[in-house]
């Protein structure tokens, strides 16, 4: 008996992306099955006999070993497979044979905890808004930081036409011999450059932004550019 599975599931199990994102990849016409472009995520394929390609490259018939790591992304690195815009995080994990994808992203000027995985279901669980996994950041800013500004940062600010969910923002300390302040941001959503845009609305200038924690995984013990294997449940 031939055991067929949905194309979307097949791609996710091979570490292409989360199951949700694999559906979009298929709809965009980036997948061929036996040389024919297939745009239906629910199309059934035979992993043993069908030739499946993503952007012209064959997708392995065998499932990759599931692997998830915690990486300290240094400032100046981008979360991309293309190096046209600078150094990528993939330069830091060259010794890992599996094809890992960033779980969420950090922009080039930010640093800190970046989870990377080839477990499509896990990626979906950690990135989909409905699961509300909290992320913690430490942000060094200059500008006036008083109770009024803290209240503003914790409000449902309008960013790019979207009313964000309230964040938790806490004053940590004043940095000695400077006009800079260390703040903690805790978010359950992570829109593109959200903290930077929040601070811009509050007239605060960001000097350093570090992601310290995602869910129950923290940056503790990691140095910039280093990674460790983790189990996320």
Clarify whether residues 118 and 9 are in a common domain. Answer: no
Positions marked catalytic: 107
pLDDT grade for 62, boundaries at 50, 70 and 90:
confident
pLDDT-derived band at 232 (thresholds 50, 70, 90) equals low
Distances (CA, A) of 69 to 113, 139, 229: 10, 24, 4
Give pLDDT, residue 163: 94
pLDDT over 80 (residue 124): no
Is 9 part of a structural domain of the chain? Answer: yes
Q: What is the pLDDT of residue 139?
A: 98
138 and 89 inside one domain: no
Question: 148: domain CATH number?
Answer: 3.30.70.1560
- Domain total of the chain: 3
pTM, entire model: 0.78
192 and 141, same structural domain? Answer: yes
Mean residue pLDDT of the chain comes to: 90
The answer to the question of residue 63 being in a domain is no
Residue range of the domain that includes 206: 134-214
pLDDT of residue 128: 67
Q: Domain holding 85: CATH number?
A: 3.30.70.580
**What HEC string does the chain produce?**
CCCCEEHHHHHHHCCCCCHHHHHHHHHCCCEEECCEECCCCCCEECCCCCCEEECCEECCCCCCCCCEEEEEECCCCECCCCCCCCCEHHHHCCCCCCCCEEECCCCCCCEEEEEEECCHHHHHHHHCHHHCCCEEEEEEEECCCCHHHHHHHCCCCEECCEECCCCEEEEEEECCCCCEEEEEEEECCCCCCHHHHHHHHCCCEEEEEEEEEECCEECCCCCCCCEEECCCC
* Res. 29 pLDDT band, cuts 50 70 90: very high
């Amino acid at each position: 008996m031939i055991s067929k599975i949905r194309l979307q599931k097949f791609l996710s199990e091979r570490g292409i992306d989360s199951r949700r994102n694999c559906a979009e990849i298929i709809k965009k016409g980036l997948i061929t099955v036996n040389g024919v472009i297939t745009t239906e995520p629910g199309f059934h394929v035979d992993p043993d006999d069908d030739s499946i390609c993503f952007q012209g490259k064959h997708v392995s018939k065998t499932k990759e070993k599931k692997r998830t790591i915690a990486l300290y992304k240094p400032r100046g690195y981008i979360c991309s497979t293309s190096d046209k815009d600078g150094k990528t995080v993939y330069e830091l994990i060259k010794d890992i044979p599996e094809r890992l994808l960033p779980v969420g992203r950090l922009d080039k000027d930010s640093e800190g905890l970046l989870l990377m995985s080839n477990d499509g279901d896990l990626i979906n669980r950690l990135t989909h808004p409905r699961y509300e996994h909290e992320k913690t950041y430490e942000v060094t800013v200059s500008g006036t930081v008083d109770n009024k500004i803290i209240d503003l940062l914790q409000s449902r600010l309008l960013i790019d036409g979207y009313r964000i969910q309230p964040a938790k923002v806490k004053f940590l300390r004043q940095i000695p011999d400077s006009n800079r302040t260390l703040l903690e941001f805790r978010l359950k959503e992570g829109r593109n450059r959200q903290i930077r845009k929040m601070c811009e609305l509050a007239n605060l200038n960001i000097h350093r932004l570090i992601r310290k924690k995602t869910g129950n995984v923290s940056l503790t013990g990691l140095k910039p550019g280093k990674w460790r294997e983790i189990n996320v449940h």
